[in-house]
Amino acid sequence: MTQRVAPLFRMWAVFLKETVQMRRDRLTFAIMFGMPIIQLILFGYAINLNPKHLPAALLVEEQTPIVRTLVQSLESSDYYDFVLQTADPMESSDLLARGEVTFVVSFPAGFTRELVRGERPQILIEADASDPAAASGAVSQAQQVLERALRHDIKGPLAQFGRAPPAFELVVHQKYNPEAKTSYNIVPGLLGVILTMTLVMITSIAMTREVEQGTMENLLAMPARPAEVMLGKILPYVAVGAGQTALILIAARVLFDVPFAGAFWILLLGVSVFVIANLSLGFTFSTIAGSQMQAMQLTFFYFLPSMLLSGFMFPFRGMPAWAQTLGEVLPLTHFLRIVRGVMLKDASLAQLQSPLLALCAFTLVVMTVAMVRYRRTLD
Amino acid sequence: MSQELAIDVRGLVKRFGSKTAVDGVDIQMPRGEVWGFLGPNGSGKTTTIRMICGLLRASEGEGQCLGYDIRSEADRIKSKTGYMTQKFSFWSDMTIRENIEFVARLYRLPHTRKVVDETLDKLGLTHRQHQLAGALSGGWKQRMALAAVTMHDPQLLLLDEPTAGVDPQARREFWDEIHELSLQGMTVLVSTHYMDEAERCDRIVYLANGHKIVEGTVSDVIDRSGLVTFRGEGPDVRHLAKQLKGQPGLDHVAYFGAALHVSGEDREKIRSVLDAHSGHDVAWQEVRPSLEDAFIALMAEAGEDTREHA
Ligand SMILES: Nc1ncnc2c1ncn2[C@@H]1O[C@H](COP(=O)(O)OP(=O)(O)OP(=O)(O)O)[C@@H](O)[C@H]1O
Ligand SMILES: [Mg+2]
């Protein structure tokens, strides 16, 4: 009888031991519960495959009741949020290149007059198709929305313009990625994702490994300063990051035919800052985690929002405001703006100034945390 | 005055949570000497050494090491001290040469290549320099560690059980090396559990339960223990040992090879016990207590570990 239940007792003993150990390991515990919660929130609320309220710029060269009505109708369709109205085409196309707006809607001068004469004037929608998913929903709705506006909202003598065939011609320019190939969007993004995953992971075990292998005592007994240790541990991986970058860029060209529109040196600058940002973050994790296992978990914990909130998987501008705010904190978000900007949009250094500065600021903050957290003694 | 002292610490206390590992230790150690640091397992030797070289922050107490404050000038202490850890703490996944090179570079020794070559040569590891350090045997690991921590010519050497697991021949060579380094002017504090090693030291500090129990030369320590020891030899000692253990007046009964040592504080009491068991074929003779007798007595005197356990 006792023989038969012995395995149960041993299992119970192990179960209790594991329970105790699990409760001791606060960080792992937190991650085990935090992860599903965050996943639920992100998948459930943040991700929007039919993004609405996308920022748009309005380029109008005349102000008439009909133009206002049409603009109003686009706005109330919930797809377009006009953040700026201008008469300067330079200004609006610059915004598009920076990625601050997803669309520029233009009504040319003389639109109203031509409409009245039945000359079918053009309405131009320039869409940032570097992320095809973001633009498609809004673009496909535009025709219908505008037609309906002419039909219902315009009464009186002008009501005839609402009848078919439409009294205007909608022209859509899919800019930066005219064929709307998702690979153009995904592959440069993948560069950022791969660098994030591997580099953060590798440096996240930098210090924890020393602690676990018992070499920390030796390291601390020798005159190595925290900043020296940090940089010494980070720098070898900058070379690794460079190698990964080369590999992915070659694959982008050879396998996916992704164009490279911009200046290579700007991308190089962006990649360098981004690589250092990730390595410093990993190092900081290694000063926080108590073991290599915890370091890995922290990395994974960080990786998830990076994938989901950076604009890699889902259009950044299509996410709710709070998710965008969170996304702004992630280096990957800024790197995606740089890499897509350079490769697909031929963005200039000035246009990429803010994501570059954001990456630098992130690196500084993270390194400061690492220095504060670095153990100078064994206790 | 502290310039004369390599180590000058007072009232060192180290608490880990509610447990006090070291409780008010004073050490005033002059430069150029070789001191032994003794005490049973868990008595606080490693913890004290770590506080001296700035690896652990003392909970209480203060002092200097090589004239630098142990709390605020740890970086300076580290650059002039060689600390050999109790557990091998070099990088097992690097070769012997890479380890030595790493240390040489961290201390920014000029002519790294030459210094490393010389060190390996002196160690006798030149032909194995490309082996992983983790693949060395225990004794060789210790020798490599000693070479690595002395490479930057430190003023003070802190060696934490450097000869644990080292064979007698290598142990002797190890100590020859220590005395050689001491002749060159290094101050050496060595923790050990070996009596013969303790006897090679200028002075001994004995720790028990986190307190310093005695400090002095070997004969000081033996005198301080107040022991009287009789040595018995003869065919019957084994039978006698059982009967003698626990007799009033005999604090310790222990074998020393084929002989039996009985020690206590009162010579007359021991004599009367031995007389009462005179039927056996054992010849008794009073001898000077050994260091080991003294330590066993000291350990018994220090009593149970009264420190609170967390
Ligand atoms: N980091 C720590 N956290 C908690 N307790 C510790 C820590 N380090 C040491 N101790 C405790 O402090 C006491 C003294 O330990 P220490 O390692 O200094 O002893 P020791 O004299 O070096 O022993 P040994 O001869 O076995 O090496 C022990 O009871 C040990 O359990
Ligand atoms: Mg120890």
How far is residue B298's CA from residue A106's CA, in Å, rounded to a whole number?
Answer: 96
Share of chain A above pLDDT 90, in %: 25
Residue A47 placed within a domain: no
Nearest to B227, CA basis, from B289, B291, B301: B289
Cβ of B59 closer than 6 Å to ligand 1, yes or no, is: no
Q: Please state which CATH number belongs to domain B228-288.
A: 3.30.70
Q: What three-state secondary structure class fits B199?
A: coil
Has residue A25 got a pLDDT over 80? no
Domain termination site, one of A142, A175, A208: A175
Band the pLDDT of B310: cuts 50, 70, 90.
very low
* Contact at CB, A377 and B87, closer than 8 angstroms: no
Mean pLDDT for A223-232 is 82
pLDDT reported for residue A1: 46
Clarify whether residues A158 and A302 are in a common domain.
Answer: no
In a domain, A46, yes or no: no
CB contact under 8 A, B88 and A222: no
Chain B residues in contact with A24 (beta carbon < 8 A): none
Q: Give the residue from chain A lying closest to B58, CA to CA.
A: A379
Whether A31 maps to a domain, the answer reads no
- pLDDT 10s digits, A334-363: 999 999 999 988 999 999 999 999 999 999
Say whether both A144 and A257 belong to one domain. Answer: no
Return the ligand number nearest the Cα of A217. 1
Query: What value does the mean pLDDT take over residues B156-177?
Result: 92
Q: What is the mean pLDDT of residues B53-66?
A: 93
A303 shares its domain with A278: yes
Q: What is the DSSP letter of A166?
A: P
Q: Tell me if A15 is assigned to some domain.
A: no
Closest Cα to atom 12, ligand 1: which residue?
Answer: B21
B197-215: average pLDDT: 92
DSSP assignment, residue B132? B
CA dihedral A239, A244, A246, A250 (to 10 degrees): 170
Q: In the predicted model, is pLDDT for residue B1 greater than 50?
A: no
For residues A11-29, give the mean pLDDT.
Answer: 68
**Which ligand neighbours the alpha carbon of B305 most closely?**
1
Question: In chain A, which residue's Cα lies nearest the Cα of B93?
Answer: A213
Chain length of chain A: 379
Percentage of chain A exceeding pLDDT 70: 84
Chain B contacts of A232, Cβ < 8 Å?
A: none
Residues of A in contact with B16 (CB under 8 A): 379
Domain-embedded: residue A211: yes
Nearest Cα of chain A lies from the Cα of B169 at a distance, in angstroms, of: 27
Q: Could you tell which of B12, B13, B14, B16 is best to mutate to test the pocket of ligand 1, judged by most ligand atoms within 8 Å of the CB? A: B16
Q: What is the pLDDT of residue A5?
A: 64
Check residues B277 and B35 and name the one with the higher pLDDT: B35
B42 versus B308: the higher-pLDDT residue is: B42
**B207 - beta bridge partners?**
B212
- Cα separation, B152 vs A35, in Å, equals 49
Q: What would the mean pLDDT of A261-281 be, rounded to a whole number?
A: 94
* Residues B53, A221: C-beta atoms closer than 8 Å: yes
pLDDT tens per residue across span B77-118: 999 999 999 999 999 888 899 899 899 888 888 888 999 999
Q: Average pLDDT, whole number, for chain A?
A: 83
Q: Do A92 and A151 lie in a common domain?
A: yes
The more confidently predicted of residues B235 and A281 is A281
Report the pLDDT value the prediction gives residue A302, as an integer from 0 to 100: 94
Domain match, A63 and A157 both: yes
The domain B5-221 is placed in CATH, from the list 3.40.50.300, 3.40.50.1820, 3.20.20.30, 3.40.50.880, at: 3.40.50.300
Same domain, yes or no: A249 and A373? yes
Q: A214 and A328, same structural domain?
A: yes
Exposure class string for A294-328: b at 16+ Cβ within 10 A, else e: bbbbbbebbbebbbbbbbbebbbbbbeeebbebbe
Q: Cite the DSSP H helix spans in chain B.
A: 45-52, 74-80, 96-106, 112-123, 138-150, 168-183, 195-198, 218-225, 237-244, 267-276, 291-302
Q: Tens digit of pLDDT for each residue in A160-200? A: 554 556 678 888 888 887 766 777 777 788 889 888 988 89
- pLDDT single digits (tens) B114-153: 999 999 998 888 999 999 999 999 889 999 999 999 999 9
For B150, which residue in chain A has the nearest alpha carbon?
A222
Q: How many CA atoms lie within 13 A of A374 on its CB side?
A: 22
Tell me which residue in B16, B78, B89 faces A223 most closely, judged by beta carbons: B78
**Confidence grade of residue A280 (pLDDT, cut at 50, 70, 90):** very high
Task: Specify the pTM.
Answer: 0.80
Domains B5-221 and B228-288 are alike in CATH topology: no
Q: Report percent pLDDT > 70 for chain B.
A: 96
**pLDDT tens by residue, A38-86:** 755 665 566 656 678 889 999 988 888 888 888 888 888 888 889 888 8
Q: Measuring CA to CA, which residue among B180, B181, B178, B177 is closest to residue B191?
A: B178
Q: Do A222 and B103 touch (CB under 8 A)?
A: yes
How far is the C-alpha of A285 from the C-alpha of B214, rounded, in Å?
Answer: 46
CA distance B173 to chain A (A): 24
The full set of domain ranges for chain B reads 5-221, 228-288
Ligand 1 neighbour B86 (Cβ under 6 A): yes
Instruction: Using the 3D structure, point to which of A140, A175, A210 is the last residue of a domain.
Output: A175
Residue A241 lies in a domain: yes
A379: nearest CA partner in chain B = B56
- Averaged pLDDT for residues A206-218: 88
Judgement on whether residues A87 and A145 belong to the same structural domain of the protein: yes
From the list B55, B106, B107, which residue is nearest A377 (CB)?
Answer: B55
Q: Tell me whether strands B5-16 and B60-65 are parallel, antiparallel or unpaired.
A: antiparallel
ipTM, 2 dp: 0.86
Q: What is the pLDDT of residue B114?
A: 93
Q: A297 and A208 in one domain? A: yes
Q: Are residues A239 and A366 in the same domain?
A: yes
- Structural element, H or E, at residue A361: helix A353-373
Q: Any residues with CB less than 8 A from the CB of B171 and at least 6 apart, and which?
A: B163, B194, B197
Q: How close is the nearest chain A Cα to the Cα of B199, in Å?
A: 28
> Chain centroid to CA A12: how far?
46
Q: Which amino acid is at A325?
A: T
Nearest to B224 by CA among B277, B289, B284, B178: B289
Distance from CA of A221 to the nearest CA of B (A): 6
Q: Whose atoms come closest to the Cα of B39: which ligand?
A: 1
Residue A138 belongs to domain with CATH number: 3.40.1710.10
Mean pLDDT, chain B, whole residue set: 89
Atom 3 of ligand 1, nearest CA residue:
B16
Interface residue ranges in chain B relative to chain A, Cβ cutoff 8 Å: 16, 50, 53-57, 74-75, 78-79, 81, 83, 85, 87-92, 103, 106-107
Q: Identify whether A234 is part of a domain.
A: yes
pLDDT at B298 over 90: no
Cα B76 from Cα B66, distance rounded (Å): 9
pLDDT at residue A207, as a whole number: 86
- Structural domains in chain A (count): 2
| Chain B residues whose beta carbon lies within 8 Å of the beta carbon of residue A216 | 89
SS3 for B230? strand
The pLDDT, as a whole number, for residue B2 is 45
Range of the domain at A347: 182-378
Residue holding tokens 């009232």?
A: B11
Same domain, A188 and A309: yes
Assess whether A117 and A218 both reside in one domain. no
Judge if the beta carbon of residue B14 lies within 6 A of ligand 1.
Answer: no
Asked if residue A300 is part of any domain, the answer here is: yes
Q: B57 falls in which pLDDT band (50, 70, 90)? A: very high
